[in-house]
Amino acid sequence: MSETTTATDEPVAPEPTPEPELLHGAPVVRVRGQQVVHAGREELVALVRTLRDEGWIQCLDVTGVDYLAHPHADVPAGIQAERFEVVVILMSHHARERLRIRVQVPETDPVVPTLFEVHPGTEGMEREVFDMFGISFDGHPDLTRILMPEDWEGHPLRKDYGIGRIPVQFKDAPDA
Amino acid sequence: MTTTESPHLTDEGAQEMAPRILAGGTEVLREVGSVLRISEAEAAEDAPVDAETTIINMGPQHPSTHGVLRLMLELDGETVLRTKPVIGYLHTGMEKTAETLTYLQGGTNVTRMDYASPIFNELAFCLSAEQLLGLELPPRATWIRMLMSELNRLTSHFLFLATNGMDLGSTSMMIYGWREREEGLRILEMITGLRMNHNFIRVGGTAADLPDGWQARLTEYLDSIPERLEEYEVLMTNQPIWRERLQGVGSITTEEAIALGATGPILRSTGYAWDLRRDMPYLAYDQVDFDVIVGSYGDCFDRYAIRLNEVRESVKILRQCIDMMPAGDYRIQDKKVTPPPRARIDESMEALIHHFKLFTEGFKVPEGDAYAAVESPRGELGVYLVSDGSAKPYRMHVRGPSFVNLQVLPHLMHGGLIADAVAIISSVDPIMGEVDR
């Protein structure tokens, strides 16, 4: 949408922001034809539960992003951009549409309430986010590492996790 | 039980059952509680002598776990109570690797995730990147992609039929499935140059045009499939032992499947007609005619039958692809995204520079994030891309259908016999490369 407006020869307005549309109190933007909701951590579970009852019955994906090296994440005005972001993708089979919820998670307190109570299918996905980013999910029934070994140190998908820095770990190898 | 006039009226007023909305599966799943959540250390402890249940370990080297899936099963006699899938044995950090590869190289990375259906990985990755770039593809590129997808779906489903047969002791089915799959892979090899890991679908189109004589070769293959499927029907579908092993085994309801995020044949086996190709068409699926196959009981037999019949539907789509393949370019002519034609490089300095830049630096993708999904043989395969405006993805996440579908496994196993475990794992059809990434 913004591409078409800047393509015209009118003086470039600083991001034509119509009054932010709200969905249950959370601002909604349309990015390339997809609905994106920016929700706070506190209202996330209530929002997802309300949306579930409105027809967004399936939670397709929960993932994380570390914006450490790319601080200008495009968040609408009024939302404080933080280092981490948890992205939840919901699906409405009735509306045949996906909805993306982006939740800002501060580095100092990387905790998000779990969606397990609403969508049990998020169990594995949240474990993966915990494993890869170190974001905790409050209330999760089994928040353990899922892809990395149980005794692994660090969270590999964080941007400050060096690649090739960690020596290969051998379990139970006798100390040389 | 006698019926009274108002059964819900009590001292405390009307006690009505909560309306059973579609997502009521959440409550059912919690009541059943089939997921085992104990750590390695807990499982290793010696069980008390009078323990009524046993915890046994299956995999990761078990031949029927489709690679390196490991299951911790809690058994009461021969009955499976709770299950914990333990994964990560094939984790190679592909999402991290993707952050160091350009969009051109990214295809070689994602294609290795779901190694049984590599085309779909490339397709989802490219659709997502193209969404960020805002590219509109020429029709021929779209149709070639669709043709490749369906051809790949055939080989993937044949692989399922082969391994499903093998897991249940029908070794001749394994050989038959492999035979058909190899023939499909030979056509893929003719088109892309490789049996697997093609990196054929690129951002902006495909790597090459279809080779001469592809119609004849493909038609010959498609003509051979119906009678082979008839053989399968005789060998398996109508065979009492086969039905006995699969019918009523590992069943799941629509509500549970949706609550667990299951997609693809698992969701469709419950009688819920949801197929991205029909319901949220991408490529040119809205222009071809095909049916969405659904089951009715959500058991292993339905999942087998769905895949068998999806082969027929894919054949139908492929025949339409042969008839309707439009002429034109197989990739978009955007010199910032796709390399110039080989002949141009000899005569144009600019084309040479563009070619050089593309293959050394790659092309820059506008800032933003995008999610694109395709219906892979296993369900919704989505790629979430975040771009910081450079030539490499800032973050790439793959929503692997196998990863999510694997969570259904404990619920399918619950209350079943240990002997059925292999049939159930097989019917979920997990590809561990995609689960672990």
Distance of alpha carbon A67 from alpha carbon B178, whole angstroms: 45
Q: To which residue do tokens 């910081």 refer? A: B388
pLDDT at residue B221 in the model: 93
Q: Nearest Cβ partner of A100 from B40, B259, B371?
A: B371
Please compute the mean of the pLDDT values over residues A47-69 and round it to a whole number. 88
Q: Nearest Cβ partner of B367 from A74, A100, A121?
A: A74
User: Residue A170's pLDDT band (boundaries 50, 70, 90)?
Assistant: low
pLDDT at residue B139 in the model: 92
Which helix (H) or strand (E) segment holds residue B116: the answer is none
Distance of alpha carbon A173 from alpha carbon B209, whole angstroms: 52
Structure tokens at A113: 């309430």
Q: Is the pLDDT of residue A103 over 80?
A: yes
Given an 8 Å threshold on Cβ–Cβ distance, is B437 in contact with A147?
yes
- Amino acid identity, residue B301? F
Whether chain A has a CB inside 8 Å of the CB on B395: the answer is: yes
Q: Is the pLDDT of residue A18 over 70?
A: no
Q: Nearest Cβ partner of A96 from B260, B280, B394?
A: B280
Distance of alpha carbon B84 from alpha carbon B241, whole angstroms: 29
Helix pair B421-428, B139-167: axis angle to 10 deg: 170
Distances (CA, A) of B31 to A79, B24, B81, B411, B437: 39, 11, 13, 11, 32
For chain B, positions 94-123, list CB contacts with chain A under 8 A.
95-96, 100
Segment B385-418, tens digit of pLDDT: 999 888 899 999 999 999 999 889 888 888 888 8
Q: Is the pLDDT of residue B105 over 50?
A: yes
Q: Is the pLDDT of residue A142 over 80?
A: yes
Distance of alpha carbon B96 from alpha carbon A159, whole angstroms: 9
Distance of alpha carbon B251 from alpha carbon B257, whole angstroms: 10
Closest chain A C-alpha to B17 CA, distance in angstroms? 16
Taking the complete model, does pTM exceed 0.90, yes or no?
A: no
Please compute the mean of the pLDDT values over residues B253-257 and round it to a whole number. 87
Do the Cβ atoms of B272 and B434 come closer than 8 Å? no
Minimal CA–CA distance to B383: which of B307, B437, B337, B427? B437
User: Residue B37's pLDDT band (boundaries 50, 70, 90)?
Assistant: confident
Given an 8 Å threshold on Cβ–Cβ distance, is A34 in contact with B21?
no
Segment B334-351, tens digit of pLDDT: 878 888 888 888 888 888
pLDDT at residue B8 in the model: 47
Sign of the Cα torsion B121, A86, A138, A56 reads: negative
Minimal CA–CA distance to B119: which of B93, B94, B154, B88? B154
Greater model confidence, A79 or B380: B380
Q: Is the pLDDT of residue B31 over 70?
A: no
Closest chain A C-alpha to B390 CA, distance in angstroms? 11
Q: Nearest Cβ partner of B368 from A31, A87, A141?
A: A31
- Amino acid identity, residue A91? M
Given an 8 Å threshold on Cβ–Cβ distance, is A118 in contact with B404?
no
Closest chain B C-alpha to A10 CA, distance in angstroms? 22
Longest dimension (CA), chain A: 72
First to last CA, chain B: 55
Whether chain A has a CB inside 8 Å of the CB on B214: the answer is: no
Do the Cβ atoms of A115 and A122 come closer than 8 Å? yes
Rounding to the nearest 10 degrees, give the CA dihedral for residues B387, B365, B147, B211: -140
- Percent of chain B residues topping a pLDDT of 90: 31
Do the Cβ atoms of B384 and B402 come closer than 8 Å? no
How far, in whole angstroms, is CA B286 from its chain's centroid? 21
**Cβ neighbours of A105 (radius 10 Å):** 23
> Which range has the worst mean pLDDT, A3-12, B9-18, B323-332?
A3-12
